[in-house]
Structure 1
Amino acid sequence: MTSRVVRPDDIVDEATIEDLQRGLLAGEFNCVALVDAYLGRIARWDKRGPMLRAVLALNPAARKLAANRDAALAAEGRFSGPLHGVVVALKDNCNTTDMPTTGGSLSLQGIVPTINSTVSRKLSDAGAIVLAKTNLHEFALSGTTVSSLGGQTLNPYDLTRTPGGSSGGSGVAAAMSFATVAIGTDTVNSIRSPASANCLVGLRPTRGLISRAGVMPVSQTQDSIGPMARTVSDVARVLEVLAGYDTDDPVTARAVGRIPASYYASLDHKAFEGRRIGVLRRLLGDEPRHLEVNTAMARAVQTMRDGGAQVLEVDDPCINADALLRDGDVQKWEFKPLFEAYLRALPQNGVRTLGDVLACGAYHQETLHEFLVQSNDTVDSEHDCGYLGRLAAHDRLRDRVLGLMAEHALDALAYPLQKCLVVPVGAGGQAERNGILAALTGFPALNVPMGFSTPDLNAPLGVPMGMDLLARPFDEPLLLGLGYAFEQRARVRKPPLHTLWPD
């Protein structure tokens, strides 16, 4: 099998898993060439040119891993696994034994875990190559993707804006074809926010579908991990590898018997036919700043109707994102004990407690200090009435959402992930996001690109906006089918205009 030399962009720019694996089988290029192509793009645009600052670390063994994949294909004449040659960007709160895992924090700089996260291991076993660790909002604790180690990641569609977060580095890596696919984590909005802001598909799976073992924790109740990609089909292919029971994350026992033979098989361009979709009125804004998102959402509704769906507006005063975040979020109570248990399992570096992090000061103090202090002062959460009341409220919310769907015979709910455009750099926290609904219920939510704002000098294509589709637990096949049907009809995806940037 011979390989020809081609320009990096010819290989990987906007390429899907299917595209690249077809080329590998045909001998048009090999895995080493793919790795080199992605490395070339990272060098060209992440550390030079626009300096997007999406990547924190590169895998020094990536080319060797790629060569091993090439040798296996040459010897066996078939792929070593379903993700053979797929190059992955992994959020830097997922443990890897060949690169540091820092959570974007100077306090953990250089720390290399001794055991891989389950997600990293599953990707490798499936033939993927983890090429890079990506920047995040430090410790995955907020939504603008700035960290003491990596600085501020920029949105490639508008360099004056943030990329969403906390998985903003993974979002930019996928949007810019720095990797074939990316992995993020989501405690409130953190996969779907950068998916929305970077014209990507992002899945927050049902709680328990994908193991979180070996992932730097924030909240046992709300943490999730999932794929981000440029197409629904690539998200489905990655989900097939990552879903499943893991003894190291007992919550995954909920998924036993609930995983189909294939998620990819659920993709159907006619998936909206006969479906009933409810648009959550309370998750839309009414101010002038909401006009761009509301206009895109109206187009999305029409796209679903054109596909054969019945779409109706539903209004429930209990489904209010600001109130849910204020009264339901449990990060403050759960972060400290989980984080300290995680720290104790790392190689010794002098940081063993949250108090140690506060004392050393090597973190992004402007965005994290208040939360870290509050969490450090929280003790005996299991007997805290405020915390226990919030957990009880989660149960009521799940029943409320299921009841709303039953009352209106709905297959899924729809809403914009963010009521307004993603915020500019330096504007403070990320504004008016709706992802808390999936985070508190544990229900699956798939974010799909639904449009761009009006172009301007800073955003020549406009700023991307995304729509969440939320369904009942373990209804990922339904969501992927709907997402695929929407993607094929709407054809929203456009890559950033990186050709305008100087090398």
Structure 2
Amino acid sequence: MRSLLLPAMLLALLPSCQRNAPPAPAATSSARVAPPSAAQRADGFAFAETGITELQARMGRGELSSRALTQAYFDRIAAIDDAGPRLNAVIETNADALKEADARDAERKAGRVRGPLHGVPLLLKDNIDATPMVNSAGSLALAAHRPKTDAFLVARLREAGAVILGKTNLSEWANFRSSRSASGWSARGGQTRNPYALDRSPCGSSSGTGSAIAASLAAAGIGTETDGSIICPSSVTGLVGIKPTVGLVSRNGIIPISHSQDTAGPMARSVADAAVLLSAIVGRDESDAATAESSGRALFDYHARLDPQALKGARIGVLRKAMGFHPAADAAFERSLAAMRGAGAELLDVEIASAGQWNDPEFQMLLYEFKSGVENYLARSQAPVQTLAGLIDFNRRHAGEELVFFGQELFEQAQAKGSLDEAAYIEARNKARRLAGAEGIEATLKAQQLDALVAPATAPAWPIDPIHGDHFLGEGYGVAAVAGTPSVTVPMGEHFGLPMGIVFMGTAWSEPRLIQLAYAFEQKTHARKPPQFLATVDLEPKKAAPPAKPASP
């Protein structure tokens, strides 16, 4: 997703996602299962809101198997995604998932546990290669595209013992086809809905991952971001999202927009779960040159560094000029600042002198890099369509399915660009990175010797509106996206039941510190609430109960 190319929102006007039918229910097991929590009882699903550590503990005690857990999530997808609220968040399930779960159970029985993700089912955004599934970016042009190998991060997850449950829907081409593209809509997958209120936007482009994990359709998930596509959907669906430093996580096997800004990252219901997931996917990959810079800088066990007292003594820069786009977000942000002060943080109001000046050069850079990157990906993965011109032609020939709601002017603008050797591209790339990075976030952090910057992530989720498009009001995360530096969003409150997130941003490779601060904030505030799958937002003011009548004499 790009914050300056804001999409038109569409209702679920296309059919539900076409995917493999979930496997048949597993045979009844005699294994004991721990009593559900209050949140799980209220939801009616045994694993609603259950974290990775608890799932791992249950499997370690023999109370739960990976097969039973995987089947439970398949049943949950059938009940919540296909039927019931019909979130339309999962675009395809993995036909091999139960085999993977059985293999992890056999390893556990033999005494081999690979780590904290052993046997834990996860979902991936549908722009990440994962065999044997399709990787389509939501486009019908790639609906038959089944890559022969896993993306580097998927291989890392499988090495860590995770079970790949399936793929999630996304804003088609990660919201880089039209300036009016629909957050959460793709021609292949239809419209994803927000589980907090089904008529509200899930934001893009990792919308399916956000809605799915918020609704406990898997233990956690992977999204991708160019500019906002992890932070925004995480914020509006009450999740923790980590957008890593570009180069911490390999992009090999991910359908690209920009090699300067693209990254994958975890989306989870807690900082602890996100930290576990991030630890599994980082690492140097010879096929992605950007990861060479992570050598010696990456801490691979982020979970071990979690500290509920991390805010004590921390110096936090407050970006007040990133406020003002929604009064409820401002009020929740002020409460968050008070909570951080109460936890011992020192807060300083700061400004980024170059704020917003990177928008136009970023856009020009992305047009160039998309054309080059997507064609390289299509050729390497032997996709059915090999060029951007071919994609444009496909969409024209299938306009009744692909172009019925919005066009492909960004594709056409990118097609008109030249090579990455052109002076115009090099100037735009250098200017965007300098204004957002060296003269932006990095300069601001250094000048005040700050641990992090904070801002409201975005406004509460806006209504899905196919006529007028997105009602996107503003964001606080863009500087880190363009600079290629890390950001972490954590729930900070709600407005009429709609979640809102705060975003912590830091210098390159500062994930350990940001995760510490985010965890301490989370433990101080406990702002996340599970979704209720409401048809719409309840706007009726809450009336106080009438006073009790005095007792009769």
TM-score by length of 1: 0.92
Which amino acid in 1 is paired with 2:122? V
Return the match for 2:331 from 271, 295, 307: 295
- Residue 300 and residue 28 in structure 1: after superposition, are their counterparts in 2 closer, same or farther (change >3 A)? same
1:423 aligns with 2:462: yes
Give me the whole-angstrom Cα distance separating, in 2, the residues matched to 1:367 and 1:406: 43
Give me the whole-angstrom Cα distance separating, in 2, the residues matched to 1:393 and 1:382: 17
Give the Å deviation of 1:424: 1.7
1:438 aligns with 2:503: no
Which amino acid in 2 is paired with 1:443? T
Return the match for 1:152 from 171, 178, 191: 191
Runs (4+) off by over 6 Å: 5-8
Give me the whole-angstrom Cα distance separating, in 1, the residues matched to 2:53 and 2:387: 45
Which amino acid in 1 is paired with 2:268? A
Which amino acid in 2 is paired with 1:203? I
Question: What is the SS of the residue equivalent to 2:318?
Answer: strand
- Residue 316 and residue 4 in structure 1: after superposition, are their counterparts in 2 closer, same or farther (change >3 A)? closer
Give the Å deviation of 1:405: 1.6
Aligned 1:52-451 pairs, distance under 5 A:
52-76=87-111, 78-141=112-175, 144-260=183-299, 262-285=301-324, 290-320=326-356, 323-329=357-363, 330-347=365-382, 349=384, 351-361=385-395, 362=398, 364-365=402-403, 366-367=405-406, 369-385=408-424, 388-400=427-439, 401-418=441-458, 420-426=459-465, 427-429=468-470, 430-451=472-493
Question: What is the SS of the residue equivalent to 1:182?
Answer: strand
Which amino acid in 2 is paired with 1:484? Y
* Structure 1, unaligned runs of 5 or more: 456-461
Aligned length: 486
1:439-485 deviation line (CA, Å, top 9, x unaligned): 111111001111101x2xxxxxx111111100111111111110110
Give me the whole-angstrom Cα distance separating, in 1, the residues matched to 2:402 and 2:512: 39
CA RMSD of aligned residues (A): 2.0
Give me the whole-angstrom Cα distance separating, in 2, the residues matched to 1:345 and 1:252: 19
The residue that corresponds to 1:459 in the other structure is none
The residue that corresponds to 1:4 in the other structure is 32
Would you say the 8 A contact 1:87–1:180 is kept in 2? yes
**Structure showing greater Rg:** 2
1:254-295 deviation line (CA, Å, top 9, x unaligned): 100012252112211100111111111221126xxx101101
Would you say the 8 A contact 1:333–1:387 is kept in 2? no
Give me the whole-angstrom Cα distance separating, in 2, the residues matched to 1:354 and 1:385: 20
Question: What is the SS of the residue equivalent to 1:184?
Answer: strand
Give the Å deviation of 1:24: 0.4
- Residue 331 and residue 308 in structure 1: after superposition, are their counterparts in 2 closer, same or farther (change >3 A)? same
Question: What is the SS of the residue equivalent to 2:488?
Answer: strand
Structure having the larger proportion of residues in helix: 1
The residue that corresponds to 2:11 in the other structure is none
Question: What is the SS of the residue equivalent to 1:240?
Answer: helix
1:82-134 deviation line (CA, Å, top 9, x unaligned): 31011111000000121111111111112100111001111111100010100
Which amino acid in 1 is paired with 2:344? G
TM-score by length of 2: 0.84
Question: What is the SS of the residue equivalent to 1:46?
Answer: helix
Which amino acid in 2 is paired with 1:304? M
Give me the whole-angstrom Cα distance separating, in 2, the residues matched to 1:480 and 1:66: 30
- Residue 308 and residue 360 in structure 1: after superposition, are their counterparts in 2 closer, same or farther (change >3 A)? same
1:46-97 deviation line (CA, Å, top 9, x unaligned): 1111211101000011111111111111122x41333101111100000012
Give me the whole-angstrom Cα distance separating, in 1, the residues matched to 2:287 and 2:252: 6
Would you say the 8 A contact 2:361–2:428 is kept in 1? no
* Structure 2, unaligned runs of 5 or more: 1-28, 177-181, 537-553
Identity %: 38
